[in-house]
Amino acid sequence: MKQDRRLQMRLRQRLSKARTKTKIGGALRAGGRTYGLICADWTEHFAPSDSNIYDRFEQTVTDVLDPIIAVSKAIAERDQAIDADDVQTVGAVTLTRSEIEVAKLVSKGLSYKQIALIRGRSFSTIDHQLRSIRQKIGAPSTSALVSLLAKMDLAASRD
């Protein structure tokens, strides 16, 4: 660590205080992009130099961790696409698909309890969703929300 001039003096000092004797690192890559760095530290003894540990570390990063990063990236991109499909705009307000469904049911005059039974959700989940909808739309109460939804003709436009 003390000899490697690629590291800034401050970092070398901090690593020395942590009793780091040897540090090796490898870039985590997916799809040609670097997403992070993984490091291994030896604190009490120097890493064995004759054991090809550096090559094995780099090979492990390439063979094991890079594919994990690639799959994680693909899952995150898929989830973002699903989330984008799960949002709809009502007037100037963006509601989730679930909020739209709850709004439709409340606009039909159903109680929180009835909506919870229909949606297979708890009473508190429906209460939370309706508070969120009211806040987004700017309705001070559920009756005001129902009135606004009737004006927007939500039930007819989204069935």
Domain 86-158 CATH (choose: 3.40.50.2300, 2.20.28.90, 3.30.420.10, 1.10.10.10): 1.10.10.10
Of 79, 80, 84, 120, the closest CA to residue 101 belongs to 120
pLDDT at 155: 45
Pairing of strands 33-42, 22-30: antiparallel
pLDDT at 144: 85
Q: Tokens in use for 157?
A: 């436009």
pLDDT at 73: 74
**Rg of the chain over all Cα atoms, to the nearest angstrom:** 28
pLDDT at 119: 93
Q: Indicate the pTM of the whole model.
A: 0.43
Helix (H, G, I), strand (E, B) or coil at 50: coil
Helical ranges in 18-120 per DSSP H: 53-60, 66-85, 97-107, 112-119
> Where exactly are the structural domains of the chain?
9-82, 86-158
In terms of C-beta density within 10 A (0-12 exposed, 13-18 middle, 19 or more buried), how is residue 105 classed?
Answer: buried
pLDDT tens series, the chain, 159 aa:
556 666 677 777 776 676 666 777 777 777 777 777 777 777 666 666 666 777 777 888 788 778 877 777 777 776 666 555 555 665 667 788 888 889 889 988 898 899 999 999 998 899 999 988 888 888 888 888 888 877 766 544 444
